Chain A
Amino acid sequence: MTAPADKPRLSREHMLDLLKQMVRIRRFEDKCAELYTQEKIRGFLHLYDGEEAIAVGVIPVLEKRDRIVATYREHGHALVRGVPMTKVMAEMYGKQEGCSRGRGGSMHLFDAATNFHGGNAIVGGGLPLAVGLGLADHMQGTNLVIVCFFGEGAVAEGEFHESLNLAVLWGLPILFVCENNLYAMGTALALSESETDIQRKAACYGLISEVVDGMDVVAVEAAARRAVHAVRETHKPYFLECRTYRLRPHSMFDPQLYRDKAEIEKWRPHEPIQRFKGWLEANHMIHPDDEARIDAEVDAEIAQAVAFAEAGTWEPVEQLTRFVHADSATPAGR
């Protein structure tokens, strides 16, 4: 086989699948926001509105055996990875049928079956973990690719620098994907970084580092194919900065005092779903029927997920301390 692995597959079927995955995330999260106002979902809820092209462009390029480390804005990553929407929604509700038994909630989606190593709610905290997953692969010779997602806010953390240094120093197969949405919660990039060109900062560690328009799903996928292919072949790390914009508030508690509405409106035309639809229409790759079909399928899946979560059950309080340690080990709380 000599077919280059890094060429995007431009078939109509594949394009429609990319669109569907983005719509799945958007509509799922729209539903979550609605359920939040109904107090079905509590705690923090960080939405990915505007950034969907990144997860959808990167994750399908991976193999099943590869591993993913994500952030607290990870609903999209889990859904695209194949964590069933039913289990993700049940987790949002805190029900024990959820993908983390209901114990993690929105910020801590885990799924061992798909090697989804979790939403990490410590900014930068996932990077050392990814280094360790890469180190295990290096020592075991399993030829995996580890993908680590994080926001540009993590770049200010020491763990970012420690991890890039270690990954390059030890030659570990990690694709670092920086989702640069320009705001670390409410602090603009220019107010938190001495060098606002993240890709340039990463390149100092001596790895291939590139920038892609993170709101163009085809461009993200093309870059991800190149990157994943390179990591798999060379077993060395690779850095991909995806430039994007978060169209919704940081979380449901955020009054957005730090940015103008006009700025958000300026970005809205760039949002990845409408933009991709426009591109598909211009290239005659989509019919109105396709859109209607995708919407209907996604709506049905969401309805099923909500029904599943509603029907879910609360973990008995008697199990509160279970799995602090493995069951056979010390009883919890001693």
Chain B
Amino acid sequence: MQQEVRPATKEVTYREAVREALRDAMKRDPRVFLMGEDVGRYGGCYAVSHGLLAELGPERIRDTPLSESGFTGAGIGAAMAGMRPIVEVMTVNFSLLALDQILNTAATVRHMSGNQFAAPVVIRMATGAGRQLAAQHSHSLEGWYAHIPGIKVLAPGTLEDARGMLWTALQDPDPVLIFENVMLYNMTGKLSADAGAVDIDKAAVRRPGRDISLITYGGSLWKTLEAATTLAADGIDAEVIDLRSLRPLDDATIMASVGKTRHAVIVDEGWRSGSLAAEIGMRIVEQAFWSLDAPVGRVCSEEVPIPYPRHLEQAALPQPAKIVAAAKTALGRS
């Protein structure tokens, strides 16, 4: 009799990894529920929650009206009263309608109330460009959120993080925002069958290298890894850091890498001015200036509203070729 062998890994999409995280969280904790626009009957704007309504019912897969401030605030209030809501906002552009609740209540209430009240809510949203959705659905504003004390900001760039960050975020006693890059939802790969919770406070070295630190997160991770491969062909050994958490930033991992490679380029899909890339660059200057052999470089989005036609959209975004060029400039190899 042949014994059945469980596969050690399974082939999944990023979308499915997030869905499995949602399903798992709701099965493990009765306080957890999902709410947002079209998460139920429609199956999620990006089909992340497809099928969950039938499994978990309309109380826990709760469709909301188009009221970003209203339902995000409702998630905050429900969290304050002992629930563990997951609020899904369709895109980061729409989250601006809920910014009052996120900043003025969720991020503020613990400090302002002298530690009497808190809002352990998780708010997920899609971010990033690349699907030709033009200037009101394509921006990368996670860097703005990373400006705000009182919240944590996560950017899962891998299947493991898409699967594992949610549960850890739900255990956090304070609000956590999770940004899912729209270009990753269809990404396919092997995920361990027993994949589960992961830490949410450490950056990860996705490719070790000696010559330059390429620091990035989210959707730009894969472009940066592609650039590193190209650089390797030219004899440049790039180290790729995936920030994973945009607030707090894991300074120790960044500085250890820069201390080793003595060169750094930051890749960030946000606009350059006042960006997360600027923050990281300044931290490197503050903490690792004497390790540097060259100025810190940046590859960010061009300072335009993201345009509709594909060639212009792609021209507005960080691309592997731009990352390669920036790395070579930093190394004096251009």
A and B: partners?
yes
**Distance of A304 Cα from B111 Cα, bound (Å):** 27
Assembled-state Cα–Cα distance A282/B116 (Å):
45
Q: Tell me whether B150 and A324 are in contact (CB under 8 A).
A: yes
Write the nearest CB–CB distance from A98 to chain B, whole angstroms: 8
Report the minimal beta-carbon distance from A148 to chain B, rounded to whole angstroms. Answer: 10
Q: Contact between B101 and A125 (Cβ–Cβ < 8 Å)?
A: yes
Interface string of A108-144 (1 = CB under 8 A from B): 1011100001101010010111111111110110000
Q: Contact: A111 with B80, CB < 8 Å?
A: no
Return chain A residues, CB-CB under 8 Å to B172. 329
Flag whether B135 is at the interface (Cβ < 8 A).
Answer: no
Chain A contacts for B59, CB-based, 8 A = 139
B77 contacts A131, C-beta separation under 8 Å: yes
**Considering the chains assembled together, what is the distance between the CA atoms of A129 and B73 in angstroms?**
5
Tell me if B208 counts as interface (CB < 8 A to partner A). no
The reply to whether B73 and A127 contact each other, CB–CB distance below 8 Å, is yes
A sample of 19 more A-B contacts (CB under 8 A), given A132-B77, A325-B174, is: A100-B116, A101-B115, A103-B113, A110-B116, A112-B113, A118-B109, A118-B113, A120-B105, A127-B70, A128-B69, A132-B74, A135-B83, A139-B78, A163-B73, A166-B64, A324-B110, A326-B110, A326-B118, A329-B173
B116: chain A residues at CB < 8 Å are 100, 110-112
- Contact call A132/B110, Cβ cutoff below 8 A: no
Rounded to whole angstroms, the CA-CA distance of A104 and B114 in the bound complex is 8
Given the known inter-chain contacts A136-B83, A334-B251, please indicate yes or no for A159 contacting B152, CB distance below 8 A. no
In the bound complex, how far is the Cα of B33 from the Cα of A108, in angstroms? 29
CB distance A166 to B149 under 8 Å? no
- Interface pair A325/B71, CB less than 8 Å apart: no
A-B contact pairs, 20 of them (CB 8 A): A101-B113, A104-B112, A110-B113, A112-B113, A117-B80, A117-B117, A122-B100, A131-B70, A132-B76, A136-B82, A136-B83, A159-B73, A323-B111, A324-B149, A325-B150, A325-B174, A326-B118, A327-B115, A333-B149, A334-B248
- Please report which residues of chain A, range 287-314, place their CB below 8 angstroms from some CB of chain B when the two chains form the complex: none
Complex CA distance for A118 and B192, rounded to whole angstroms:
46
Q: Is the CB of B173 within 8 A of A132?
A: no
Near A by CB (< 8 A), chain B positions 265-298 give none
Cβ–Cβ < 8 Å partners of A125 in chain B: 73, 100-101, 104-105
B75 within 8 A of A: yes
Measured CB to CB, the nearest residue on chain A to B201 is: A330
Q: CB-CB < 8 A to B248: which residues of A?
A: 330, 334
Give residues of chain B (107-156) contacting chain A, Cβ–Cβ below 8 Å: 109-118, 149-150, 152
B81 lies within 8 A of chain A by Cβ: yes
Q: Which of B77, B117, B201 contacts A136 (CB 8 A)?
A: B77
Chain B residue nearest in CB terms to A120: B105
> In the complex, A139 Cα to B13 Cα: how many Å?
32
Given known pairs A100-B114, A140-B82, the reply for A166 and B71 (CB within 8 Å) is yes
Residues of B with C-beta under 8 A to A135: 74, 77-78, 83
State whether the Cβ of B166 lies closer than 8 Å to any Cβ in chain A. no
Chain A 18-31, CB-CB to B under 8 Å as 1, else 0, gives 00000000000000
Question: Which B residues are CB-close (under 8 A) to A120?
Answer: 105
A185 CB within 8 Å of chain B: no
Contact (Cβ within 8 A) A130 B77: yes
| B contact face: mostly helix, strand, loop, or mixed | mixed
Chain A minimum-CB-distance residue to B250: A334
Say whether B81 contacts A133, CB under 8 Å: yes
Contact with A along B84-103 (1 / 0, CB 8 A): 01000000000000001100
B149 with A330: CB separation less than 8 A? no
Q: Which residue of B lies closest to A128 (CB)?
A: B73
Alpha-carbon distance A159/B80, docked complex (angstroms): 19
List B residues at the A interface (Cβ < 8 Å). Answer: 33, 59, 64-65, 67, 69-83, 85, 100-101, 104-105, 109-118, 149-150, 152, 172-174, 201, 247-249, 251
How many angstroms between the C-alpha atoms of A162 and B117 in the bound complex? 24
Confirm or deny: A158 has a beta carbon within 8 angstroms of a beta carbon on chain B. Answer: yes
Provide the bound-state CA to CA distance between A334 and B249, in Å. Answer: 7
Please tell me if A165 contacts chain B, counting CB pairs below 8 Å.
yes
Nearest chain B CB to A172's CB is how many angstroms away? 9
A323 and B67 contacting across the interface, CB-CB below 8 Å: no
CA distance A127 to B82 in the complex (A): 18
A133 close to B80 (CB less than 8 A):
yes
Measured CA separation A325–B247 after assembly (Å) = 12
Which residues of chain A have C-beta atoms less than 8 A from B247's C-beta? Answer: 334
A103 touches B114 (CB 8 A): yes
- Report how far A208 CA is from B85 CA in the complex, Å: 29
B83 touches A330 (CB 8 A): no
Q: Given contacts A122-B100, A166-B67, A326-B173, are A128 and B111 in contact (CB under 8 A)?
A: no
Are A133 and B77 closer than 8 Å at their CB atoms?
yes
CA distance in complex: A329, B112 (Å): 17
Contacts of B150 in A (CB 8 A): 324-325
Q: A169 at the A/B interface (Cβ < 8 Å)?
A: yes
Chain A nearest CB: distance from B105 CB in Å? Answer: 6
Q: Closest residue of chain A to B83, judged by CB?
A: A136
Q: Which residues of A contact B74 (CB under 8 A)?
A: 128-129, 131-132, 135, 166
Given contacts A165-B70, A166-B64, contact A132 B113 (CB under 8 A): no
Partner of B110, one of A129, A162, A323: A323
Using CB atoms, name the residue of chain B closest to A334.
B248
A102 within 8 A of B: yes
Closest chain B residue to A96 by CB distance? Answer: B114
Residue A73 lies at the interface, judged by CB distance under 8 Å to chain B:
no
Write the nearest CB–CB distance from A12 to chain B, whole angstroms: 37
In the complex the two chains form, is A137's CB within 8 Å of B81's CB? yes
Residues 146-184 (chain A) with a chain B CB within 8 angstroms: 158-159, 162-163, 165-166, 169
